[in-house]
Homo-oligomer: A and B are copies of this chain.
Amino acid sequence: MFTIFRGGDDGVWRVTMQAPVSGAALPPVRYLAIEQATDLACSVGPSESSWQLTGVASHVRYVERNEKIQLGARQAGLGRSGATCAALIPIQKSAAWWELTQDERRQIFEDKSHHIAGSLKYLPAIARQLYHCRDLGEPFDFLTWFEYAPTDATLFEDLVGELRRTAEWAYVTREIDFRLAAHR
């Protein structure tokens, strides 16, 4: 199942901020729609005033069993009624990252970045979902998605700040930061 994020003039999420953090920007949009699709054949492509990004909520790549149990016990699902704030942060990593082997990526990911351990303290307030898209021929490698209540907005800023200081994030070559508000 593919998840398609469509930026344009319509959608359940209103874009409150669209900031290119590194690399090329995307055309500014006012709204974001999210759709599920079983295949990508003949999907509507981007226009001048809109774009779409597609990803797959795939199996876990780095998490180990004890971490999966901890995450599973604490994390919240998407679509909570009070979670009217969201963020979409598409990222692309460098060729150097993808040339690394699994053990090397895992070491940067957890041993150096404490990515998973660091994330636990934001649960269950910040719900998150990672979509993979590198193998889909997409412009980004990952679409990271977060949902939270307005009262947790400061906590979310802490999370994003912490992620950007990790060793893993040094490999990010393109990043756009969208903040969104549920508008209907």
Contact = CB atoms under 8 A, between A and B. Distances in A.
Question: Interface size bucket, A side?
Answer: 20 to 34
A103 interface: yes
B136 A136 contact: yes
Contacts of A38: 137
Q: How many chain copies does the complex carry?
A: 2
Interface string A29-54: 00000000011111101000000000
Contacts of A67: 101
Contacts of A135: 56, 58, 132, 135-136
Nearest to A58: B135
A2 interface: yes
Contacts of A184: none
A43 B97 CA distance: 31
Contacts of A62: 102
Contacts of A59: 98-99, 134
A101 B58 contact: no
Contacts of A43: 41
